[in-house]
Amino acid sequence: MSAARFAANALRLRHTELAGPDTAAWRVRLLGGFEIDDGRHRVTRLRSRAAMALLARVAMAPSRDHAREELAALLWPGADAATGRSRLRQTLSLLRAVLEPAGAPAVLHADRRVLRAVPGALWCDAAAFEQALQTRPDEALALYRGELLPGFFDEWLVDERQRLHALAERLREREGTLLRPVAPTAPAASAASAAPAAPTAHRYSAQRLPHYATRLIGADVQGARLLAQITEHRVVTVLGPGGCGKTRLAVEVAALACQAPRGAAAARFDSAVFTPLVAACTRSEVFDRLQMALRIEAAGPPLQQLQIALDGRTAVVVLDNAEQLGDDAVAAIAEANHDDIGLVWPREISPADVHVVIAGKADGPQIPAGEQLAADLEAAGLRVLLDDRYGPSPGVKFKDAELLGIPTIAIVGRGVADEENSTIEVKDRRSGDRQDIPLADVVTHLVATCRP
């Protein structure tokens, strides 16, 4: 088992500067309606809606290689592979006839596998809006003239429309908050009152998630599985090809998780937070997006402010377009949770609850005892990382376990050799405390430790 991996999203924007509207060969406007112009001609409609959707897909992520198979599946989801490829060739030819008339420079580059925009050839208001969100809010507000391609109901476009609309709403709310006068603070009566204030975080209800005009059809099984996963696990990754509806499914399930099940007194979660992370490629950018979503206004170390804001809450945090977090997210966790040996995972986000280490010879009783313990722990609902390697010495295994940093380490060693008084050594990774727990009681003990 390893730490959670984050899903790749088909509209990933690399952290590069977009072409400027004055230098691009074509300006593509998708917010509030469809319009393209090259400084001489202005076009508000193409002969094919598929050509308009194809241009939107490429222009919104101009630095990305768009696989032909992916584009065909998105634009013609009901067609077989051969038909989809044929229609894509025809649509691309039509689009090039408009964007690349005789004597004009190339705008689109296509080979047998992928389609991409020529660098600097396209400027898109939707992509510029997202890039301006954090540092140029006034420009971002001016760019958002309306919803993305109104009247188009392709599933991937509906998802993007709702996501961009949510970003614009949050930006307006944030700017309105910043413009409100701050009430005067009463003088401090003591040294204690001078301590920094805790950040204020709005408690999101499910209704603060992106809204969709239509019902989600045909995803009952996937939705039920995802709801069960987020109820049981702290980190869940939704994987799938671009445009298949991952964002929509996650939003619908997050909303459902904030509703009380039939016959239950309370909902599983008290709030849901939707955090779009398109183009957030650094740790500081990710923290900025999370602070905006949670409405954290206090100053201080970002990770500390997030921990304070989420303390005591049972929130579903939807991180959309999170594939670029990877190493940087782990680095942020390691920075706040480590000792001289290595990483110490917080139990809330640890990739496993218990690290079972088998320390014994290949023909000894430790291997069957360790495998049985791992099976019993998993049956009890715990996530288990089992080290059953034969080659490394026990000392190497112990060091590896400490380096990996799973909160609880269960060592199946010499203690199980005594059949009448078999024990398992249980170590708390953070404190270093060790206990010898009778084999018959170890599952109950570990469940109580990991699920207090």
- What pLDDT is stored for residue 207 in this prediction? 43
CATH fold match for the domains 26-143 and 354-450: no
Sign of CA dihedral 260, 261, 266, 271: negative
Please give the backbone phi and psi of residue 298, each rounded to the nearest 5 degrees, phi first: -75, 150
- What pLDDT is stored for residue 331 in this prediction? 67
Q: What DSSP designation does 206 have?
A: G
Q: What CATH number belongs to 26-143? A: 1.10.10.10
DSSP H or E segment with residue 125: helix 125-132
In the numeric block, which tokens belong to residue 141? 């507000």
- What pLDDT is stored for residue 357 in this prediction? 94
Residue spans per domain, the chain: 26-143, 155-177+198-336, 354-450
C-alpha to C-alpha distance for 304 and 75, rounded to whole angstroms: 44
pLDDT in tens, 181-217: 333 333 333 333 333 344 343 333 334 677 776 667 6
Q: What DSSP designation does 148 have?
A: B
Q: What DSSP designation does 197 have?
A: P
- What pLDDT is stored for residue 14 in this prediction? 37
- What pLDDT is stored for residue 322 in this prediction? 75
Q: How far from the centroid of its chain's Cα atoms is residue 452's Cα?
A: 27
Start-end of H helices in 133-234: 137-143, 155-179, 220-232
- What pLDDT is stored for residue 5 in this prediction? 29
Q: Where does residue 103 fall: left (phi above 0), alpha (psi -120 to 50 degrees), or beta otherwise?
A: left
Q: What CATH number belongs to 354-450? A: 3.40.50.800
Mean pLDDT by 10 residues, the chain (452 residues): 30 48 91 91 89 95 91 90 92 93 90 92 94 88 88 86 87 57 34 37 48 69 86 81 80 85 71 81 77 76 79 85 64 75 82 91 86 92 87 89 92 87 93 93 93 74
- What pLDDT is stored for residue 7 in this prediction? 26
> Do 57 and 71 contact (CB within 8 A), yes or no?
yes
In the numeric block, which tokens belong to residue 14? 């690399």
C-alpha to C-alpha distance for 35 and 42, rounded to whole angstroms: 7
